[in-house]
Structure 1
Amino acid sequence: MVTCYLSYIIDPYKVKEFEHYAKLWIPLVEKFGGKHHGYFLPSEGANNVALALFTFPSLAAYEQYREDSFNDPECQAAFKYAEDTRCILSYERSFFRPVFEGSV
């Protein structure tokens, strides 16, 4: 299992647009076999940092999702929405493996 951690720098004047973008992606990740754990928008502190977490069974499954998303019309529309609104200034992607109680 691998969890993708996305850290976004967003335009603080376009949080509503970024929230719409986030809501587009949650079902799309799940459509391609992932489990979305949500987006996290600014509240207190920095007003331009947002996060997202989602999990795939393996890095290979994540890579397949990425490849498939580039050919999916709904995913393309979500990419275009972010580009058109310019709500995302930059992002950084990292991968983690979860540790659960009792796991070895």
Structure 2
Amino acid sequence: MITCHLRYVIDPTQLKTFEHYGKLWIALVNRLGGIHHGYLLPSEGANNIALASFSFPSLAAYEAYRIRSQTDPECQAAFKLADDTRCILSYERSFFRPVFE
């Protein structure tokens, strides 16, 4: 299993738009074979940082998801929402492997 962790720098004036964007991606990742662990939105402290994590069975499965997302109409609409509203200023993507007992 591999977990993708995203750290977003968001426009705090677009928080509701970003939350809508996140809800779209939760369903999309799940539909395309992943397990979305949700988004963490600003509450106290920094008002422009948000986090998200989702997992796939393997890096190859994640890469297949990325390829599918480039042609999936719902994914394209979600990408367009972020581009049109500029709710995401930048993001970092990191990959982790979980450790269980």
* TM-score for the superposition, normalised by structure 1: 0.96
Show CA shifts across 1:39-98 (max 9, x none).
Answer: 000011110000000000000000000000000000000000000111000000000000
Identical columns (%)? 75
2:71 is matched with 71
- Give 1:22's aligned amino acid: G
Aligned equivalent of 1:41: 41
SS of match in other structure, 2:53: strand
Listed as ranges, the matches of 1:19-58 within 5 Å are 19-58=19-58
Unaligned segments of structure 2, at least 5 residues: none
For structure 1, which runs of at least 5 residues remain unmatched after alignment? Answer: none
2:71 maps to a residue whose letter is N
AA aligned opposite 1:33:
G
Question: Which structure's CA Rg is the greater one?
Answer: 1
- Structure 2 residue identity aligned to 1:96: F
Q: Secondary structure at the match of 2:46?
A: coil
Question: In the aligned structure 1, how far is the partner of 2:12 from the partner of 2:77?
Answer: 22
Q: Please state how far the C-alpha of 1:99 moved relative to its aligned partner.
A: 0.6
The Cα RMSD (Å) is 0.4
